[in-house]
Amino acid sequence: MENKEISKCMTDKKALFYDGLYYSVNIIHRLYDDLIKRLCILSEFQFENPDAASEFAITEAWSVIDSLYRLRKLLEDTPGLKQNDENLRLFYQRTKCLKELRDSIQHLDEHINKYIPDKIPALGRLSWVYVVNEKRYKACMLVPGDIQPDLKLMPSHMGQRMKKPIDFVTLTSNNSVCLTQMINALDELIPWLNDKLNNNFSRKHQMAVMCFGISTNYNIY
């Protein structure tokens, strides 16, 4: 392969990684923002059947975990990123708990037997605090499955500072991950990431939507 072809291949590879990083970060923020809105609704609990909202919330929480883990793997392999840089190492340190939790849902069939002694629900537990005012908050928990009499309680945040409207969103299975802290770590990394990628991280990324009309010679409904 000639030098020009090698150079173009590397440029194309970087562009793909940049797109992967850009959309991964955007997807994580969209998922987390939607989750916060959903948890606000569940915190008020002004409806008879919360099943649909609860299922969306647990789905979004696991999607945030999966997307954050995917972002970590992309960062590890992105060409030109110095892996020993303090900013990146700090992000890795703060998010190292992701793998164990992510694996617990990706390989759920292998983990179920381990959950029985500790009464862990198949999809884990989602907990959060809902800030009512300066002196009052609600501690909330979503348990997808039967609640066992000796079910472990949610983490305590008594005496800690909280951000409105929702804080300390935590997903617990075989280990616990505070999604809020993961998002904070990501937001602190973004300015550094943009600088290291020569502002390509914040460049205009193209999103193409294409639909094709197709006629058939048989009834499709």
The set of residues, in sequence order, having a beta carbon less than 8 Å from that of 87 and lying 6+ positions away, is: 189, 192
Per-residue pLDDT at 31: 97
In this structure, are residues 94 and 173 in contact, taking their beta carbons and an 8 Å threshold?
A: no
Amino acid in position 11: T
Residues found in the chain: 221
pLDDT, block means (10 residues), the chain with 221 residues: 52 85 94 96 78 92 97 94 93 96 91 84 92 90 74 68 93 93 96 80 74 88 88
Per-residue pLDDT at 117: 82
Q: Round to whole Å and give the CA distance between 189 and 72.
A: 12
DSSP state of 206: -
Ranges of beta strands (E only) in 22-152 are: 125-133, 136-142
* Ramachandran sector of residue 146 (left: φ over 0; alpha: ψ -120 to 50; beta: rest): beta
Q: What is the DSSP string of 123-166?
A: T-EEEEEEEEETTEEEEEEE-SSPPPTTPPPPPP-TT----SSE
In this structure, are residues 130 and 40 in contact, taking their beta carbons and an 8 Å threshold?
A: yes
Per-residue pLDDT at 6: 44
Per-residue pLDDT at 111: 86
Q: 200, exposed or middle or buried, with CB in 10 Å at 0-12, 13-18, 19+?
A: middle
What 3-state DSSP class applies to 200? Answer: coil
Q: State the CB neighbour count (10 A cutoff) for residue 11.
A: 11
The set of residues, in sequence order, having a beta carbon less than 8 Å from that of 34 and lying 6+ positions away, is: 60
- The residue behind tokens 């305590």 is 156
Q: Round to whole Å and give the CA distance between 65 and 121.
A: 17
Find the distance separating the first CA and the last CA of the chain, reported in whole Å: 52
